[in-house]
Amino acid sequence: ELVAKFAGYGFNKSHAAAYAMVAYQTAYLKANHPVEFFAASMTLDKGNTEKLSGFRQELDRQGIPLLPPDINRSGVDFTVDHDADGTDAIRYALSAIRNVGEKAMELVVAERAANGPFKDLFDFAGRVDPRSINKRMLEGLTRAGAFDGLNPNRAQVLEGIEVLLRYANRSADERAFHQAAHRRGRVQGPARQRGDHQRQGDRRGGRQLHVPGRLRVPRRAAHGGPHQARLLRRRGGRGARVARR
C-alpha cells in the first residue's frame, strides 16, 4: 500500500537533484538580483491578475518600486527601469494591461525603437498601424495611465479616442497613397518635398485647430492634406467637397 501511494507522486534521485538545482538558482537570483528576478517572474505570469497582485505585495514588502505603464518607456514585458531618485524599479508591461494585445504592443514598441519616442497623441496615432489598434485598446491604455506622459488629462483623451482613430486611418491612407503614387512615378520631387514640409509643420503643432475642452486636432486630421484631398476626390463623395474647399 505504501508503494502504491508513493507511486502517485514520487521522485527518483535524478529528478529530485534537478529540482534542487533549480530551487537553489531561483533562491540565489531572488536574494541577489531581486528586481530582475521579479521582472522576469511577473512577465511569465502577466496574464494572471491574481499572481500579479501577489507579486505587487511582495514588491511593497521588499521596497521595490513598481512604475506605471508608459507608452514611451514601457516594453512589451515587465522591464527593469529607474524611478526619479535613480532607484532600481520595475516598469509595468504594456501587454499586461487589460484589453491590450501583445502583438499590437510589439508593433508599437518596434515603431518607437525605429523612429524615436512619440511626441504627442497624434504622433502616436499617425505612426502606428490602424489595423493593430482599436477603441478598447486605446481606452485600456488611457485608463492604465500609459498616455499620461503625452496628455495627463485622461478624461480628455478618452473623449478624443474616436478622433485619434480617424486620424490613424487617414494617416495610413495617405502613406498608402504616397507609396502607390511613387511606384507609378506620379510624385515629382519638389511637390513631394512641399508635402513633406507641410506634414512636418503639422507635427510641430504650428497649424492646429483647437476645440475647447477637447484634444487639439492637427489641421490635416480635421480636413486632410492636399494629397489626402486628391485621394478622397478620386473616391468621390465627401472628398470632392473637401477638394473644392
- Please report, in tens digits, the pLDDT of each residue of the chain (245 residues total): 787 777 777 777 788 889 899 999 999 999 999 999 999 999 999 999 999 999 999 999 999 999 999 999 999 999 999 998 889 999 999 999 999 989 999 999 999 999 999 999 999 999 999 999 999 999 999 999 999 999 999 999 999 999 999 999 999 888 888 777 777 765 455 444 544 544 454 444 444 434 445 566 665 555 444 444 443 344 444 443 433 33
Q: What are all long-range contacts of 149-158, with beta carbons under 8 Å and residues at least 24 apart?
A: 149/70, 149/71, 149/72, 149/73, 150/71, 150/72, 150/118, 150/119, 150/120, 150/121, 150/124, 151/120, 151/121, 151/215, 156/213, 156/214, 156/215, 157/121, 157/215
